[in-house]
Amino acid sequence: MVAPIASGTVTNPSPLAPRSLKANDPCWCGSGKKFKRCHKVSSHNIAPGRQSPMRSVPPEIGRPPYAESGQPVRRPENPVQSDDVIKRMRVAGRAAAEVLAETGAAVAPGVTTDELDARCHEACIDRGGYPSPLNYSGFPKSLCTSVNEVICHGIPDDRALLDGDIVNLDVTIFLDGVHGDTNATFLVGEVDLPSRRLVEVTRECLDRAIAQVRPGRPFNVIGAAIQEHAEANGFGVVRSFVGHGIGEQFHTDLHVPHYYEPRLTRLIEEGMTFTIEPMITIGAWDHDLWDDGWTAVTVDRQRTAQFEHTLVVTADGCDVLTRI
């Protein structure tokens, strides 16, 4: 689950895709191709479905402080974690990766996002963990399912996935007092070329960003690597949601933008733990919010993809904690 951007942050301009291009118009990205041959995707706007009741967690499972109240209380947490916390986060990160792989294996046309939520919920419990999104600020489900134009925080419901959709599954597990957070975008059946290219480039953006992480470098090298690669391929970078510090709290005060912010000169330090989770768009990068207060969608309703890992900074780089 991504963090909203800190208030007052200035973002850099990025080209927006016009919202009314016709199929035979020149594509907005400047490729010289027709829109229908380049960045146009066959899409149908997502609408809210019916939600099932909030799922229960067995009493013997350890819970984060907000599990009952639904109200997370932010407290100061050192961005440089202790050896004990990092050790526990390695276990939680691997568990999150396993849950994501198990849930993602169920993605197929005809499967509802609620069925994916049930699979994720049980997979967390099977590993002795609590699904971190459940009742976090009142979020009603154990998994975020963001389909097509949904940027993030999509709420699972009875909508069945359709052939040609793409869906992001955002998994976080609370295990032994710490959180592990990861996500990936999955193809549903036969997906058009522009959407497959979007997913591929988004994964590459995350890999390029991770390669920048080492002690002594400013945090803005992360966003610079993402923005450069995304825009070189004709895509946009979402500004309103960012990576975040993570540890014994789901979100700490550390923010990790996915675009270049020249004022972000804070240095990366050994022992820091945080997520990088770029959200990349085919068209416009700004967003609208559904009435549910959670579901963020692109303003032009064009598709978006996301990938995420939780990292710990090491002496000469970083370790990805959410890989199997």
According to the model, what pLDDT value does residue 17 have? 43
Is residue 55 assigned to a domain?
A: no
CA-CA distance, 311 to 313, in Å (whole number)? Answer: 6
Could you read off the pLDDT of 209-219 as tens digits, one per residue?
999 999 999 99
Q: How far apart, in Å, are the Cα atoms of 262 and each of 10, 224, 238, 259?
A: 10, 9, 17, 10
- Answer left, alpha or beta for residue 176, where phi above 0 means left and psi between -120 and 50 means alpha: left
Please state whether the predicted TM-score (pTM) of the whole model is above 0.85. Answer: yes
Structurally, how many domains does the chain consist of? 1
Record the tokens describing residue 177, joined without a space.
């007092």
Is residue 29 assigned to a domain?
A: no
According to the model, what pLDDT value does residue 11 have? 37
> What φ, ψ does residue 319 adopt, rounded to 5°?
-110, 135
Could you read off the pLDDT of 26-85 as tens digits, one per residue?
876 677 777 655 655 555 799 999 999 999 999 999 999 999 999 999 999 999 999 999
Q: Give residue 229's domain range.
A: 78-320
Is residue 57 assigned to a domain?
A: no
Is residue 51 assigned to a domain?
A: no
Is residue 23 assigned to a domain?
A: no
The total of other beta-carbon atoms located within 10 Å of residue 270's CB is: 15
Weakly modelled stretches of the chain, pLDDT under 70: 4-23, 28-29, 35-43
Where does the chain show beta strands of DSSP type E? 3-4, 130-131, 144-147, 150-152, 166-175, 178-187, 236-237, 241-244, 255-256, 273-276, 279-281, 287-289, 296-298, 304-306, 309-314, 317-320
CA-CA distance, 126 to 4, in Å (whole number)? Answer: 30
Which among 262, 227, 256, 225 has a CA at the least distance from the CA of 242? Answer: 256
Is residue 62 assigned to a domain?
A: no
Is residue 42 assigned to a domain?
A: no
CB 304 within 8 A of CB 279: yes
CATH number at residue 119: 3.90.230.10
According to the model, what pLDDT value does residue 2 have? 83
According to the model, what pLDDT value does residue 14 have? 37
Is residue 37 assigned to a domain?
A: no
